[in-house]
Chains A and B, each alone.
Chain A
Amino acid sequence: MTTTQSAITAPAAGTPAPRRRRNTGDLLVRYAFVLPAVLYMIAFFGYPIIKNVVMSFQAYDFSTFFNGKAPFVGLDNYAATFSDPIFLRALGNTALFTVGSIAGQFVLGMALALYFRRRFPLSGFLRSLLLLPWLLPMIVSAAVWRWILEQDNGALNAFLTGIGLIDDPIPWLTSSDTALIAVIMVNIWLGIPFNVVLLYSGLQSIPEELYEAGQLDGATGWKSFWHITLPMLRPVVSVVLLLGVIYTIKVLDLIIGLTGGGPANATQTLATRSYEMSFVEFDFGQGAALSNILILIALAFSLVYLRANARAAKNG
């Protein structure tokens, strides 16, 4: 399941001076409020990140769990990763998966958000129903779509042959030609609710008067979308797209559930490959190296996101 971020703007500089002098005891109590969270964050985020960096320079494999030995091997894990053809495949797939998913989610999400902005009976209720795919466990969606995309008994092939669009059933998830497309399709479906929710709330904040004024100048339909909606929505759009990228590059449940990265690595991404390296091949060193590459990409987009978000907060 993807989540939305609560946007944070850094607290204003120059906090008000304390009203009375606090004694040390008082200060300690204040710090005690954040202590459990800080300890948790250190143990479950800080430590894993450092551990991953360390492991990526070690020969950390199956035997390590028995004899506790993980000799340092310098950059061997990275060298092995970069010379692995599956890694290059996974890198390309991650890019295609991310770009394809985001493009689809965004366009369809925007279309739905625009549609539901009209006022008509039940629009609020229908819009809230749209959230459902987003709330379901991802592995449930994977199971359902596996059944829909099944070659012989799946609903999609039955529908497509029924309307005469295809003659032979398509092996959606079992052919390396179509598997990535199918996985992207499902991920688009999963991501639409998130895009609708954020874009819809962005649309709500555009003042109605702008459209009324635009109407007088002859800006209606596409014109008003292009010249009023999009420019006004730009900060929201950049936040939606960046968050989309950050969430999409780490998607793992869905791919493992639909194809397991196959057939023949056709749907292998950095995240699934990292999982496979560590937990299937038991090479935690290389798995960690892959994780670190994934983290670097995620962090790069996160920093861009935080900047865009701060800008959106300032303008909004």
Chain B
Amino acid sequence: MSTATDTASRPVLTGAPRRTRSARSALHTVIGIVLVAIMLFPVYWMVNASLAPAGNSLNIQWLPLNPDFSGYSRAIADQGQNLITSLIVAVGACLLSIVIAAPCAYALAQFRIKGTAALLFLVLISQMIPGIVIANALYTVYTPLGLINSIPGLILADASQGIPFAILIMRAFLETFPTSIVEAARVDGCGHVRAFWSIVLPVSKNSLITAGIFSFLFAWSDFLMALTLTTGESIRPVTLGLYTYIGTNDTDWSAVMSTAVLSSLPAVILMIVAQKYVAAGATGGAVK
């Protein structure tokens, strides 16, 4: 990430006096802040509305000068259970994605087994399959299997986004991992499984975290599988809860926006505490 120090250490090419340059870069910062503020206005507006008093005909308050937290108490009363469901599903999908993807990524990167190129190709293509295609077919098999309205059903379905992503991102990392380390351990009689567990996994911690964060966020954000693979209120992720909330006619916007804020928390928290990993996943080696 480039920072202010870059400006100072770079030779001044234009020959402009230092003061004008710093005034100009201050102006750049101001414009940059304005641009980001415009882009993030909807996020501000969500927080602002969540702090407004209840009611459909809200008068527009541009600043939450008199914050009212009743929206949050209604949101938690109505959606608390759904938030917990989302959390369980997202953690489950995250773990499942890692458990399935990590060994596969390692094998694809390091074992020269037959079919590697074909499997990679299929994993790439799978990310481009529209989710509705999966949902259509899953509904018809989930019904007889009793997986409709079930946490395991949602975990399995939601991992369909996490697994291909995790395979690709971890494989990209493991490609650069020196084979010699594992080879040495193998010569010492260490089996594939132990080499993977005690050598490969610890060194690929960063890519594991990135894969885990995104697998979690994919499942947390999932709406389509929740919409199609649940039918009642017993098991309802918060994304679907939010949707049915908006759908009610006399919409209580402060409770809706409070729910929206609560649903955004994992993304916001991860963006702050795990910025490095999020940035790594965002570029994801998309252009290599």
| Closest chain A residue, CB of each to CB of B127 | A5
- Residue of chain A at shortest CB distance from B10: A119
Quick check: A1 and B167 within 8 Å, CB to CB? no
Give the residue of B7, B39, B191 whose beta carbon is less than 8 angstroms from that of A120: B7
CA–CA, A27 and B214, complex, Å: 32
Q: How does the 8 Å CB contact mask read for A137-165 relative to B, with 1 for contact and 0 for none?
A: 11111111111100011010010000000
| Chain A residues whose CB sits within 8 angstroms of the CB of B82 once the complex forms | none
Asked if B169 and A6 sit within 8 Å, CB to CB, the answer is: yes
Interface string of B1-39 (1 = CB under 8 A from A): 111101100100100000000000110110111011001
Indicate if the CB atoms of A236 and B287 lie closer than 8 Å: yes
Residue interface mask B57-77, A partner, CB < 8 A = 1: 111100000000000000000
Q: Which residue of B lies closest to A27 (CB)?
A: B113
Contact with B139, one of A30, A278, A294 (Cβ below 8 angstroms): A278
Q: Collect the chain A residues with CB atoms within 8 Å of residue B132's CB.
A: 250, 252, 271, 274-275, 278, 291, 294
- Bitwise interface map of B from 233 to 268 toward A, beta carbon under 8 Å scored 1, else 0: 000000100110110000001001101100110011
Which of B42, B120, B135 interacts with A145 by CB under 8 Å? B42
Assuming the A-B contacts A15-B112, A18-B112, A133-B39, are A44 and B141 also in contact, with contact meaning beta carbons closer than 8 angstroms in the complex? no
Contact residues, A77-136 vs B (CB, 8 A)? 112, 115-116, 118-136
Find A243's partner among B45, B283, B286 (CB 8 Å cutoff).
B286
Contact B42 A55 (CB under 8 A): no
**A111's closest neighbor in chain B, by CB?**
B35
Q: Does residue A302 face the partner (Cβ distance < 8 Å to B)? A: yes
Q: Do residues A288 and B136 form an inter-chain contact, with CB atoms below 8 A?
A: yes
Question: Is B223 a contact partner of A33 (Cβ separation < 8 A)?
Answer: no
Q: Does B209 sit at the interface, judged by CB under 8 A?
A: no
B261 CB, nearest partner CB in chain A, Å = 9
Decide if B116 touches A11 in the complex (CB within 8 Å): yes
Q: What residues on A are CB-neighbors of B224 within 8 Å? A: 252-253, 275
Query: Which 10 A-B pairs rank lowest in CB-CB distance, beginning with the nearest?
Result: A48-B137, A124-B1, A6-B168, A37-B104, A137-B221, A250-B130, A120-B28, A33-B107, A51-B137, A135-B267
A265 within 8 A of partner (CB): no
Q: B282 touching A34 by the CB < 8 A rule?
A: no
CB pairs A–B below 8 angstroms (27 shown): A26-B192, A27-B113, A29-B193, A30-B113, A32-B103, A33-B103, A41-B122, A45-B129, A121-B4, A124-B1, A131-B271, A133-B39, A136-B43, A137-B222, A143-B246, A144-B257, A249-B130, A250-B130, A253-B224, A271-B132, A275-B135, A275-B227, A291-B130, A294-B130, A294-B133, A298-B130, A309-B287
**Chain B residues with CB under 8 A of A166:** none
Which of B131, B192, B281 is close to A250, meaning CB atoms less than 8 Å apart? B131
What CA separation (Å) do A81 and B194 show in the bound complex? 54
- Whether B203 sits at the interface, judged by CB under 8 Å, is no
Are B136 and A52 interface neighbours, CB within 8 A? yes
| B283–A4 CB distance below 8 A | yes
Decide if A34 touches B108 in the complex (CB within 8 Å): yes
Task: Kindly provide the distance from the CB of B126 to the nearest chain A CB, expressed in whole angstroms.
Answer: 5
- A287: which B residues are within 8 A, CB to CB? 136
